[in-house]
Amino acid sequence: MNYKNKNLVSESGLTQKHLIHGDEELFQRELETIFARNWLFLTHDSLIPSPGDYVTAKMGVDEVIVSRQNDGSIRAFLNVCRHRGKTLVHAEAGNAKGFVCSYHGWGFGFNGELQSVPFEKELYGEALDKKCMGLKEVARVESFHGFIYGCFDEEAPSLIDYLGDAGWYLEPMHKHSGGLELIGPPGKVIIKANWKAPAENFVGDAYHVGWTHASSLRSGQSVFSSLAGNAALPPEGAGLQMTSKYGSGMGVLWDGYSGVHSADLVPELMAFGGAKQERLNKEIGEVRARIYRSHLNGTVFPNNSFLTCSGVFKVWHPIDANTTEVWTYAMVEKDMPEDLKRRLVDAVQRTFGPAGFWESDDNDNMETESQNAKKYQSRDGDLVSNLGFGGDVYGDEVYPGVVGKSAIGETSYRGFYRAYGAHISSSSWAEFEDASKNWHTELTKTTDR
Amino acid sequence: MINIQEDKLVSAHDAEEFLRFFNSGDEALQQEATTLLTREAHLLDIQAYRAWLEHCVDSEVKYQIISRELRSASERRYQLNETMNIFNENYEQLEVRVAHQLDPQNWGNSPKVRFTRFITNIQAAMDENEDLLHIRSNLIVHRARRGNQVDVFYATREDKWKRGEDGARKLVQRLIDYPERTFQTHNVMVFM
């Protein structure tokens, strides 16, 4: 397929060809232009605190070892032995001075260097140049306030530039709160959906909440319960949506706190957050202090989603065009009392883990949306994301990014898919940048609904 | 870093506990355990969840399913949480899950989902000091959904059943150390 001329995403991200959720050839193109090019979540500082600590993570369909070095830096390497290609590490986490392949016994340091080869002198003589046989290294590893991301592409913008306008909304919780830690191990479950189906849902779908999650809203005693069964719309001014040049975006539900959790936990979390308000008002101003206590649903492009305040942190690892491995961690504020952390971690898994009752509500939506993308009559149809188009603005004096000033809309879908389409049709970051010169004017058009 | 695993495992991996609880060979206890588990499975299979809570579950219940991170067999130095809770529910939290299952707007349960449970390898022993019946059992749950979605859950359960005020035994603790690290099943919306 010639992806340069293939219009998978229409201008302004208003529609997408349904086949993007099921086409296996396109999936291979995504591995090249999305997953080998963009920043992907690896781990958090709190999960590898000491030198030698490591976790295994996924980048697209590849697996990497992410290890803390002696100087405190973090490096990531392909989890594949350089000799005959066997997986090196089968554990998910640990502390090790190095990694020994169980096939022929080649040993690699946690800095990726090939350090030992059994019977090297006897068998290879001088023929083996160990310096050239280290593990393949992930080109870039950077941190956003303790959240570690990796990128295979040297040409990518820095992580902070990549997050772009989305970073402004994330910093109140990720930085100014006093910082976050991620609690593992993650829950893991396979869903029969394309990775983009949950990523697009988290980036900006407040529309589905009252209907899809009617049963969870009603039974779970959350502060959003009044929305159950579409009994009400969020009131005027209840929230906003935003998107950014590189596709990351989110919805903001003002003062939503940890909205998905139940009445036995939320008052305590609100009191904990409330105690920081005065300090935050002074340090970052009232608007961003309000963002700290608001419920943000979002996706860091391409496959890392979150619900701040509710503490939900997801990675949607692609396996094939209709299969995704879902990892769910809990985010907690570092200075929370231990007992509150423990109960919030359980609440995250109770709502959005493998047995999360909110998460299960979403299964059929994401899975059948993806599976219908393989069907003959439906795959060439258009999926529509035009809700609220024409009202989005860029250059607001308060809110950065392309912003839609209502709680419900599809502003962030459009930004996500504009970036997606530009990557799929580009062969490099330079081409992507060229295709994105007018990104915000494209997203804020008012004439071609 | 916090430790989310509050309690030591009850009996699964400890030979001393095994000898203490499971070598009694008491046929009456074995029969009592089999009856309790079979009746419970029946109520869950027919999705009579409120009756299950009323007749089988103690108000002080701790209902836990854990997932264990894969670690090297020789791992000694990495000290962070090895397990996470898939379920860690008290009675009120089970009530929320039951309400969610029975809600008329739980779209995933229409058309009706079908469950078939198989219980095997039942071993029972009495903890005389606490009048607690300890039961270890293996479980298979078959879930049939929509036209062609079939999921199967395999697990070992470690239970404690306590005698209530009405004389009937009720589940007061269930622990499942789920063997598959990554669930292959879309979700874990099932009572095991």
Q: What is the pLDDT of residues B66-88, one digit of tens each?
A: 999 999 999 999 999 999 999 99
Kindly name the residue from A23, A53, A362, A392 that is annotated as catalytic. A362
pLDDT tier for residue A319 given thresholds of 50, 70 and 90: very high
Kindly state whether residue B138 falls inside one of the protein's structural domains: yes
- Helical residues (DSSP H) of A188-318, grouped into ranges: 196-204, 209-212, 214-219, 266-274, 277-292
* Segments in A233-373 forming alpha helices (H): 266-274, 277-292, 338-352, 357-371
SS3 A417: helix
Give A181's strand partners: A332
As given in the structure block, the two tokens for residue A86 are 């066997």
Which CA distances in Å does A249 have to A10, A16, A42?
19, 18, 19
CA–CA dist A25, A321 (Å, integer) = 9
Q: How confident is the model over A84-105, as a mean pLDDT?
A: 98
Inter-residue contact A136 to A129 (CB < 8 Å): no
- B184 in a domain, yes or no? no
State the pLDDT at residue A259.
Answer: 78
Does residue B3 sit within a domain? no
Contact in structure between B190 and B143 (CB atoms under 8 Å): yes
State the average pLDDT over residues A213-239. 90
Instruction: Identify the weakest region by mean pLDDT among A111-115, A189-193, A306-310, B8-12.
Output: B8-12
Is A139 at the interface with chain B, CB within 8 A?
A: no
Tell me the residue range of the domain where B90 lies.
Answer: 15-70+78-178
Instruction: Give the total number of structural domains in chain B.
Output: 1
- Partnered with residue A248 across adjacent β-strands are none
Please state, in angstroms and as integers, the Cα–Cα distance from residue A54 to each residue in A46, A83, A213, A327, A436, following that order.
11, 22, 37, 17, 37
Structure confidence by residue, pLDDT tens digits, B132-168: 898 999 999 999 999 999 999 999 999 999 998 888 9
- With contact defined as beta carbons under 8 Å apart, do B169 and B36 qualify? yes
CATH number of this structure's domain A11-34+164-443, picked from the four choices 1.10.540.10, 3.90.380.10, 3.40.50.150, 3.30.70.120: 3.90.380.10
Q: Is residue B188 part of a domain?
A: no
Domain assignment present for B183: no
Give the pLDDT confidence score for residue B13 in this predicted structure: 60
Centroid of chain to Cα B34: 15
Q: Helices (H) and strands (E) in chain B — how many of each?
A: 4, 6
Q: How many CB atoms lie within 10 A of CB A365?
A: 18
Per-residue pLDDT, averaged over B79-105, amounts to 97
Q: What is the CATH number of the domain that holds B127?
A: 3.10.450.50
For position A162, what pLDDT does the model report? 98
What are the domain boundaries of chain A?
A: 11-34+164-443, 40-143
Residue B103 at interface with chain A, using a CB cutoff of 8 Å: yes
Contact B17, B108 (CB under 8 A): no
* Coil vs helix vs strand at B51: helix
* Dist CA A96 CA B131 (whole Å): 46
Contacts of A367 in chain B (CB under 8 A): 186
Q: What's the confidence (pLDDT) of residue A226? A: 86
ipTM of the complex: 0.95
Please name the residue that has the structure tokens 């005020």. B165
DSSP bridge pairs for A101: none
Does B9 reside within a domain? no
Q: Which of A96, A183, A346 faces B88 most closely, judged by CB atoms?
A: A346
User: Which of the four pLDDT bands, split at 50, 70 and 90, describes residue B125?
Assistant: confident
Pairing between β-strand B169-178 and β-strand B149-163 as defined by DSSP bridges: antiparallel
Q: Which residue has the tokens 């529509």?
A: A384
Among A261-265, A317-321, B114-118, the range scoring the smallest mean pLDDT is A261-265
Q: Which residues pair with A314 in a beta bridge?
A: A305, A328
Q: pLDDT digit string (tens) for A417-434?
A: 999 999 999 999 999 999
The token duo for A62 is 């590849």
Q: Which CATH class is domain A40-143?
A: mainly beta
Task: Tell me how close the Cα of B75 comes to any Cα of chain A, in angstroms.
Answer: 6
What is the rounded average pLDDT of the residues A345-351?
A: 97
Question: In whole angstroms, what is the distance from residue A318 CA to residue A391 CA?
Answer: 33
Q: Is B148 contained in some domain? A: yes
pLDDT at B30 over 60: yes
Q: Does B99 touch chain A (CB under 8 A)?
A: yes
Q: Given a cut of 60, is residue A448 above it in pLDDT? A: no
Does residue A228 contact residue A277 with C-beta atoms inside 8 Å? no
Give residue B37's pLDDT.
Answer: 98
Neighbour-count burial for A384-407, b at 16+ CB within 10 Å, e otherwise: ebbbbbeebebeeeebbbbbbbbb
With 60 as the cut, is the pLDDT of residue A282 above it? Answer: yes
| Mean of all residue pLDDT scores within chain A | 96
Cα A429 to Cα A153: distance, rounded to the nearest angstrom: 9
Chain A residues within an 8 Å CB radius of B188: 189, 354-355
Closest among A233, A273, A279 to A257, alpha carbons compared:
A273
Question: Tens digits of per-residue pLDDT, A21-32?
Answer: 999 999 999 999
| pLDDT of A7 | 86
> What pLDDT sits at residue A145?
98
Q: Is the pLDDT of residue B9 over 50?
A: no
Examine the residue annotation and report whether A362 is marked as an active-site residue of this protein: yes
CB-based contact (8 Å) between A47 and chain B?
yes
Q: How far is A314 from chain B (nearest CA, A)?
A: 15
Among A65, A422, A444, A70, CA closest to A243: A444
Please report the pLDDT score of residue A1 as a whole number: 72
Give the closest residue to A136 by CA, choosing from A90, A222, A77: A77
Q: Would you say B120 and A230 are in contact if contact means Cβ atoms under 8 Å apart?
A: no
Q: Which residue of A has its CA nearest to B66?
A: A187
**Within a 13 Å sphere around the CA of A169, how many CA atoms are in the beta-carbon half?**
34
Please give the structure tokens belonging to residue A9.
């995403």
Q: Tell me if B137 is assigned to some domain.
A: yes
pLDDT tens-digit map of B166-179: 889 999 999 999 99
Contact B186 A367 (CB under 8 A): yes
Digit-coded pLDDT (tens) for A45-94: 999 999 999 999 999 999 999 999 999 999 999 999 999 999 999 999 99
Substitution target from A261, A265, A360 for chain B, most B beta carbons within 10 A: A360
